[in-house]
Structure 1
Amino acid sequence: MSNTSNSVVDTLLKKNILQCGLCKKLLLSTPVMLVEEVGNTCISCFRENFINSKSLQNTAIEELVSSLNYPCRYRENGCEYYCSSSDLLYHEDICIFRSKRCPMWSVCNCTWEGFLTEFVGHFLNYHGEHVIKFDCNLFYLDVSMAEEEVIKLLVTKNIILLLKMQLSIEKNKLYYVVCHVKDDGTTYDYSVKHKGNSDSYIKTRSTVVESKYIYRDLDESIAVSVDLLSLQQTVKVANRITNIFKIKTFDAPAHYLEERMLQFFECPVCKSFMKPPIYQCQSGHSICNSCKPRLEKCPTCRAPFGMTRNYSLEGLTVGVSYPCTFHDLGCMMSLSPADIAKHEAVCPYKPYNCPVHLCTMTGSQDVIVTHLQEFHSEHVIFEGYTETFRLEAYHPLNQIVDRKILLAYDHIFRLTCRRWGDSYMWASEIIGVQNDTKSFVYEVSIIDIKKPEKRLIRTDYCLKEMIEDELLKKCVALPNRILSSYSNNGMVQFHFRVKKGM
């Protein structure tokens, strides 16, 4: 449009000819009603205030309005864009000059308001502790049961989103919503795994929505809701909820079809993808092989389970590539049902459990190593260690004398020394690794304190992580009668280390 045309529109706007006589908004929608002693009104104001007044439809002004191009309402902020009435609302939704309020006002009373182009910079500079930077479209968020509201800016290479979570003890619900920042019309789906202190989880799915919802109180009409009672009973949530978000950004038809296909293989109980054997209830609802032994009735229809297999669904698995069970942690591997189990045993994204007793922290190896150094430094060693203990009489109880966490060879080892009855036992476990145990051995040296050259050495392969009862059966064990020949005034010294195998 020429500058002359723009000037004409500006003149009409200044004289309020193109605006509603009551609300002063542009008359972009039809019909436009001409009301006696009021002038032109939009249809909303007319229906609300003048439905019984003397009026008529102003078709002439409607034609004029539809033929003109209008300036963006953010032109005072610097926008020089003019467009038709039909495109104006869309443009204003994505205009880079539109003002945006900081959503942190409800968390820390931030009163900032500025251009969209400045929004992210403001958040990074003033609310950096509420920014989550993530890769592989995946991120973790731990939420305390004491936090009523959480707002985070989610930043990755190509995506910037806003997350809002609200905890309602009154309604016994956890609400959350993920919103766009730019509102540019891009569609993203995402899934969330909600975890507690057990291996189980509750999974929810949704779609990224407009930024306006970040400024509202959340309820079932706006946000995804998760029942807190279910979280407490199913995944053993106590004080914190671990939420694992995965943003899905692909648009390729092949990926879309594969994702749609996999939904038919999702177990209704554990939400994992079913692999043969797949069982079904008397009504035909399927369930995975792991969940079936734990249930007497179908969770969908309450019909009883028998031994009926769903051979049709099993047959379809031949043509399906199953994503690694750790895909929500960043693994992109997809394989046949026969191969995916082998991969999952050695997957580099497989989460580690913190090896310290009673600690429930989980995460990648790097996360656990950092966690150990920050929160359990008193247990952590980086080489072998030497310890002295008193050789005592018979002990009826299984008593742990010492336990250390060794960080070496890019692995995590748990070293345990214990006594049982009239014997002392040592063992080393490799944490989080299934197929690498034969690569490392542990060595226990019993040392005569007065004659250090006199020592008894025992070695064995490092064990995979296991429960206490199993570990007891596979330790290096030495009875008191042997240890006593190396003791000095009842004290025995040992050196415990891990080394690479031959």
Structure 2
Amino acid sequence: MDITDLHQLILKELECPVCLEYMKPPITLCQNGHNICFSCKPNLYRCPTCRQQFLQVRSISLECLARNITYPCTNRKAGCPENLPMHLISEHQVMCYFGDYECPFSKISNVYCAWSCPLVDLKRHVLRDHRGSSLDIYGGGSFYSHLSPLTQTAKMHKALVVFGELFYAVWKVLEGDFCFTVIYVGPESNSSKFSFKFTITAMNKIETISTCLITRGYNENVDEVLKPGNCIAIHYDTIEKFFAGENKLPFQLEISRLGTSDNDSCHINQNDYNVDNATHY
């Protein structure tokens, strides 16, 4: 028996008879020695294999084996190739690219949408089913548009697909400050690999405000992120000076991949995209 066969044999012993996932400590025994995972046990009164009662005893030997092997990701059937030690696999699964992600319109903006799926399908869903509030920026990460109407009670959002990645721009006026940020929809570790630059220019073409920040993570609390000090925050009285017409704020948004030359080539030739269609929430 080679090491691969031995590894598969141990994993088979670690398979929970209820959820069919691989058990991690604490692993509980029944009176006849059958094992059950800690997630399923609270929902059961008797062993699902033999119907005997559970003991207040842990399977120490099996737990020892569990601590010394690598676990496949729970998203393996969706295509994830990762095999990691027990203390790393749980962290990986939280931000696995192949895992299911809740639609950002529901998760961030409380718009009813029951869609939850892997990222590759989520991008298609957003562009198809939220087409009035999403934009696919082909070939680059920069576009010009305007926010309208931007009032002291305005709250809006917009989904963007840039470089094949999904982002979610949110802005609102909070206690007299215009607050804006861009959230990366995907594994938490990737959010620090992108930046966004928000630029507004006055009608005289001289006065300009431009700020660049790292994109925020998808699991962060959006109410905390959209507070001055955590996002782009400009006093509303200042913002008003940059209006072009009634409550209309022209702006440029550029999303860049850090550590590459994308900053030099991300601009695209595109007509001004009207963000009147950006969803108000």
TM-score range, shorter chain: 0.5 to 0.7
Aligned partner of 2:109 in structure 1 is none
Q: C-alpha distance in 2, partners of 1:384/1:356?
A: 21
> In the alignment, what sits opposite 1:155?
none
Which structure ranks higher in relative contact order (CA pairs < 8 Å, sequence separation ≥ 6)? 2
* Cα deviation, residue 439, structure 1: 1.8
- Residue type at the aligned position of 2:146: E
> Could you report, residue by residue, the CA deviation over 1:149-198 in whole angstroms, capped at 9, with x for unpaired residues?
xxxxxxxxxxxxxxxxxxxxxxxxxxxxxxxxxxxxxxxxxxxxxxxxxx
Q: Is the contact between residue 286 and residue 310 of structure 1 (CA under 8 Å) also seen in structure 2?
A: no
Selected match of 1:299 from 25, 31, 44:
44
Q: Percentage identity across aligned positions?
A: 20
Deviations 1:299-346 (A, max 9, x none): 14297997x654332201144331111112123433332343455456
How far apart, in 2, do the equivalents of 1:434 and 1:440 lie? 12
Residue pairs, 1:428-439, within 5 angstroms = 428-439=182-193
Determine the structure 2 residue equivalent to 1:442. Answer: 196
2:171 equivalent to 1:407: no
Give the Cα–Cα distance (whole angstroms) in 2 for the partners of residues 491 and 266 of structure 1: 60
Residue equivalent to 1:61: none
Aligned-residue offset at 1:415: 1.0
1:444, CA displacement in angstroms?
1.8
Equivalent-residue separation in structure 1 for 2:13 and 2:92 (angstroms) = 22
* Matching residue's letter, 2:143: G
CA-CA distance at 1:490 after TM superposition: 5.7
Match of 1:452 among 201, 205, 223: 205
Q: Distance in 2 between matches of 1:270 and 1:463?
A: 34
Structure 1's unaligned 5+ residue stretches are 1-251
Of residues 326, 329, 339, the one that matches 2:78 is 329
Quote the offset at 1:486 in angstroms.
3.2
Report the alpha carbon displacement of residue 484 of structure 1 after superposing the two structures with TM.
3.5
Matches within 5 A, 1:57-76: none
Q: Residue 128 of structure 1 aligns with which residue?
A: none
Report deviation, 1:498.
Answer: 1.5
Change (3 A) 1:495 1:274: same
- Specify the alignment match of 1:384 in structure 2: 143
Amino acid at match of 1:410: G
Let me know the Cα RMSD of the aligned residues: 3.6
**Cα contact 1:445–1:456 (8 A) shared by 2:** yes
How many residue pairs end up in the alignment?
238
Distance 1:298 1:349 in 2: 28
Alpha-carbon distance change, 469 to 310 in structure 1, aligned in 2, over 3 angstroms: farther
The code of the aligned residue for 1:405 comes to A
- Which residue number corresponds to residue 421 of structure 1? 175
Name the stretch that deviates more: 297-306 or 450-459: 297-306
Residue 496 of structure 1 corresponds to: 253
The 3-state SS of whatever aligns with 2:114 is coil
* Partner secondary structure for residue 77 of structure 2: helix
Mapping 1:262-301, distance limit 5 Å: 262-267=11-16, 270-276=19-25, 278-280=26-28, 286-288=36-38, 291=39, 297=42, 299-301=44-46
Distance 1:392 1:305, change over 3 A: farther
The one-letter code sitting in structure 2 at the alignment partner of 1:389 is: S
Partner deviation per Cα, 1:191-242 (whole Å, 9 max, x = no partner): xxxxxxxxxxxxxxxxxxxxxxxxxxxxxxxxxxxxxxxxxxxxxxxxxxxx
Q: Give ranges in structure 2 of 5+ residues lacking alignment.
A: 48-52, 107-111, 260-281
> What's 1:480 paired with?
236
User: Does 1:368 pair with 2:118?
Assistant: no
Question: 1:281 touches 1:298 (CA, 8 Å); kept in 2?
Answer: no
User: Aligned partners of 1:309, 1:479: CA distance in 2, in Å?
Assistant: 59
- The answer to whether the 8 Å contact 2:199/2:211 transfers is yes
Does structure 2 conserve the Cα–Cα contact (< 8 Å) formed by 1:391 and 1:484? no
- 3-state SS in 2 of match to 1:478: strand
The alpha carbon displacement at 1:463 in A equals: 0.8
SS at the partner of 1:453? coil
Q: Could you list the per-position Cα deviations for residues 425-453 of structure 1 after superposition, in whole angstroms to 9, with x for gaps in the alignment? A: 111111112212222111222332x2233
- Tell me which amino acid in the other structure corresponds to 2:37: I
Paired amino acid for 1:408: V
1:462 Cα deviation from its structure 2 partner: 0.2
When residues 472 and 265 of structure 1 are mapped into structure 2, their CA distance, relative to the original with a 3 A threshold, is farther
Equivalent in the alignment of 2:62: 313
Q: Return the TM-score normalized by structure 1.
A: 0.41
**CA 1:310 to 1:472, structure 2 compared with 1: closer, same or farther past 3 Å?**
farther
Q: How far apart in 1 are the matches of 2:214 and 2:76?
A: 31
Distance in 1 (alpha carbons) for counterparts of 2:168 and 2:177 = 20
TM-score (norm 2): 0.67
Amino acid of the structure 1 residue aligned with 2:237: R
1:280 partner letter: T
Shift of residue 455, structure 1, vs aligned partner: 1.7
1:161 corresponds in structure 2 to none
1:469 Cα deviation from its structure 2 partner: 3.0
AA of the residue aligned to 1:328: K
CA distances 1:232-272 after superposition (whole Å, capped 9, x unpaired): xxxxxxxxxxxxxxxxxxxx998776555324434466543
Shift of 1:418: 1.9
Alignment partners' CA distance in 1, 2:254 and 2:204:
20
The separation in 2 between residues aligned to 1:268 and 1:360, in whole angstroms, is 30
